[in-house]
Chain A
């Protein structure tokens, strides 16, 4: 019997052969194998309903295999009698199910509509990119397959991918690209896009000679591959993008959808068979963790590489949960049906809350430690065993959830907790490894990307628990997690206060504390231990700030705003949240200015000493802007379209820019980004992707000046005061530098709006007037 050791590259359904697999064998061959992969799914109902269903199915032209079985249902919390239905392959499964729905719409179904790779991984332990051992016959039919790999191992994946990278010379949305740059394992090649026939011929030759496993493109989904396919049809030259012969590539339409409160746009997709294609510009999370991260996500979720690169972490979490359910013999519901438990409205007030958030103490603070819980919500889900089936509506049971009228059943581990535990453990291991390496170490970047992929999956799993379409979601579980979160953060705060620390800010899973005399990380060790004692969840010191500023509301300098701050750690690194330099849509010139100001402030132990040079720098930057010396691309504004262009009633700037693009035939969908400049006169914008370039002299530099002053004022507010004061300082040439006193950290005074005024007592004579130093 032939056999091979190798790596699973791709797998997909086939109408005739059931399932087709592409392996990279250890000796370097690419091998195609197949296997009949029968699909089992379940129907639930009363005995008589199931009997009718049995009769119906038995009378079908190609009857499936039927048997009675019992499987666990997480929502009813017991093993249910089911009718197990086995079809020969995924195609017959889908066709049969559609017919069943027509005649038996009222039954409950499970294990329907599950990706082949998940079923295969659950059955054999072999996931995409796994190293495995395969035994097959002379017809290339798999007889036996074993995994030699472990998705949860910290070791780097070993799959030796041949990667072909293709980049068009220009962004197709902006200008028509003129050539293609192709890189194959270090060997590069350039093809001219103008000569269509030679381009195709050469490209086909390269494909054939190099035979890549992964084609990594830029704009491959939305422009490049569709273009090449169009050319191949035009010139009648066959383009073998797939390794699988007699197969068309798989197209997925573009779509806009609502997710976590904003509109997300996903461009059309081109997926290959026998090979992987990933479009770096259309892959979710690519900027976060690139190929190493996508591969990590692929391995732990058992989704094929090109699918995992394109889908959101929410889909990833769903896959992990489904995989766990399949392995444990738990029913995977077809449609989310479980509604919220009926509860008196009186309980909604305490249940319907998010994370605990404290208003911060506005102003500058020195020697502040930021302490973070490590992956708080996932840790709560695993530690407290929160899962749809572990929720008990009996408030008198043990393990009551704080402030909610529900309890947790601790008798066995819930499916969500089971699914998350290895994910959490691996993330902690990777982070620990990372902390021992220097950023210059060769394996640092890949390890960091892998840890990031896991982080995103973990970050999503909580939101997913409350998602309306999540198969294993349950709103009570979601509420239980936030309730524990609030409780634990409060306990941490109490532990800090008991130890004599002042708590400056609390935000969901982090606290900022300080105490006279505590300046080095070692000074906070004891507090960390105390908190762990009180909460049982791992906690880590993010760092000790030399100084940190909590930024107030732009509209009202007395109103604190949670999670809006900037500061410098003892090692000199900056951290900022909620301000322009941190946001993705900030104009580069302005973001860079703000960041540089922060860096200048960070150089001094007393930030106010930096002010004279900061103001000089800011004036210089404003001068460059006024003189037209700033490259236009540094003034670009990038905003997402929240809705279709027609749907806007009054057009914001982004909408007007989108209209301009529409007028030249470039249609933008909700969720896509519009890139434009602010211009003087009507319509006030110029879309960057218009064929005619903008007139640099018409740029509305006054508007940009305002944006810059606003951004600078955000970070200079504690020392300069209001935006008007800053404008006076940098725009008027001769002005005395008189800055108001810095607000001290006296807790009582902090919350009062009227400060630093002399206290006049009428009984005192003028010469006895005392000015209180605040």
Chain B
């Protein structure tokens, strides 16, 4: 999984993937700034800090490099992405579809908002890597609503991580992120 600029990489995995994503964020943040959009209240601040600590004693500059915004409604997601024009930053979106599961907003509206969001993400991905994480738990519903299909169509690379025994999955994920991070932090 080597994300490059010009690509949207999609990761479909369960909640525990957050540790891999924090590892990835840490690797990047040690070298440059990164935009982290939390679409489902998944950000693990303490986990990120601990991961950074493995690399350096002074974790504060890296923590300053992680630019965080938390999104609580699908309208907010669209408004944020429409107004965000800084294309010098790699972008990581956590739990992209969480706010699009809200049945209080009519489905056509959610589909339209998601479409707008994906257009903005494609625009941003032209100059920097964009990584999207969709959580496995949301799967049946977003498939039925056609939202997953929309995200698929907008993505260039898709990684689907299966459920497996905790011990077994650890090594493979780590290798994945190792390669992943190297390219991301090289700014490709």
Q: Do A and B come from one complex?
A: yes
Chain A interface residues (CB < 8 Å from chain B): 105, 335-346, 348-349, 352, 468-469, 475
Among A105, A342, A345, A346: residue with most chain B CB under 10 A:
A345
Could you show 20 A-B contacts with beta carbons less than 8 Å apart? A105-B112, A335-B75, A336-B73, A336-B75, A338-B76, A339-B71, A339-B77, A340-B70, A340-B71, A342-B35, A342-B67, A342-B69, A343-B69, A344-B63, A344-B68, A345-B68, A346-B60, A348-B68, A468-B72, A468-B73
Least CB distance from B103 to A in Å reads 11
Q: Are B68 and A338 in contact (CB under 8 A)?
A: no
The answer to whether B73 and A345 touch across the interface, beta carbons within 8 angstroms, is no
Contact call A337/B69, Cβ cutoff below 8 A: no
B43-77 to A contact mask, C-beta < 8 Å, 1/0: 10100100000000000100111111111110111
Q: A339-B71, A349-B45 are in contact. Are A344 and B66 (CB under 8 A)?
A: yes
Q: How distant is the Cα of A340 from the Cα of B73 in the complex, in angstroms?
A: 11
Whether the Cβ atoms of A339 and B69 lie closer than 8 Å is: yes
From A105, A340, A345, B66 is in contact (CB under 8 Å) with A345
B79 near A338: Cβ-Cβ < 8 Å: yes
Q: Are A341 and B60 in contact (CB under 8 A)?
A: no
B68 to chain A: which residues have CB within 8 Å? 342-345, 348
Residue contact B76 to A337, C-beta cutoff 8 Å: yes
**Any chain A CB within 8 A of the CB of B80?**
yes
Q: How far is the CA of A346 from the CA of B65 in the complex (A)?
A: 9
Contact yes or no, B76 A344, CB < 8 A: no
| Chain B 156-187: CB-based contact to A (< 8 A → 1; otherwise 0) | 00000000000000000000000000000000
Residues of B contacting A105 in the complex (Cβ-Cβ under 8 angstroms):
112
For the complex, is B130 an interface residue (Cβ under 8 Å from A)? no
**B69 and A346 contact, CB distance less than 8 A:** no
Tell me whether A339 and B64 are in contact (CB under 8 A): no
Cα A475 to Cα B73 in complex, Å, equals 13
Report the separation of the CA atoms of residues A468 and B73 in the bound assembly, to the nearest whole angstrom: 7
Minimum CB distance partner of A352 in chain B: B45
Q: Which residues of A contact B121 (CB under 8 A)?
A: none
Whether A344 and B65, one on each chain, are in contact in the complex, defined by CB atoms closer than 8 angstroms, is yes
Chain B residues contacting A352 (CB-CB under 8 Å) are: 45
**Which B residues lie within 8 Å of A339 (CB)?**
69-71, 76-77, 79-80
A345 adjacent to B48 (CB under 8 Å): yes
Within 8 Å of chain A (Cβ to Cβ): is B36? Answer: yes
For the complex, give the distance between the alpha carbons of A203 and B79 in Å.
55
Q: How far is the CA of A338 from the CA of B75 in the complex (A)?
A: 9
- CB contacts (< 8 Å) of B35 on chain A: these are 342
Encoded as 1 (CB less than 8 Å from any A CB) or 0, chain B from 77 to 97 comes to 111100000000000000000
In the bound complex, what is the Cα–Cα distance between A337 and B45 (angstroms)?
25
Besides A337-B78, A345-B63, 9 more A-B contacts (Cβ < 8 Å) are: A335-B73, A337-B76, A340-B69, A344-B63, A345-B36, A345-B45, A346-B60, A348-B45, A352-B45
- Bound complex: CA A336 to CA B76 (Å): 7
Q: Which residue of B lies closest to A108 (CB)?
A: B79
Q: What residues of B have a CB within 8 angstroms of the CB of A335 in the complex? A: 73, 75
Whether the Cβ atoms of A346 and B63 lie closer than 8 Å is yes
Report B-chain residues with C-beta under 8 Å of the C-beta of A468.
72-73, 76
Q: Return the chain A residue nearest B52 by Cβ.
A: A345
Minimum CB–CB distance for A480 against chain B, Å: 16
What 4 pairs across the A-B complex have the smallest Cβ distances? A468-B72, A346-B63, A345-B66, A337-B79
Chain B residues whose C-beta falls within 8 Å of the C-beta of A342 in the assembled complex: 35, 67-69
Question: What is the CA–CA distance of A468 and B75 in the complex, to the nearest angstrom?
Answer: 11
* Chain B nearest CB, measured from A629 CB (Å): 50
A345 to B73, CA, bound (A): 20
CB distance from A330 to the nearest CB of B (A): 19
Return B40 CB to nearest CB of chain A, in Å: 12
The closest CB in chain A to the CB of B25 belongs to A345
Chain B residues with CB below 8 A from A344, complex form:
63-68
In angstroms, Cα B45 to Cα A335, docked, is: 29
Q: Considering the complex, give the chain B residue whose CB is closest to the CB of A466.
A: B72
What residues of B have a CB within 8 angstroms of the CB of A341 in the complex? 69
The residue in chain A whose Cβ has the minimal distance to the Cβ of B84 is: A342
**B67 — which chain A residues lie within 8 A by C-beta?**
342-345
Bound CA–CA A349/B72 (angstroms): 19
User: Given the complex, which residues of B lie within 8 Å of A346, measured CB to CB?
Assistant: 60, 63-64, 66
Q: Collect the chain A residues with CB atoms within 8 Å of residue B60's CB.
A: 346
Q: Closest chain B residue to A343 by CB distance?
A: B68
A346: nearest chain-B partner, CB-CB:
B63
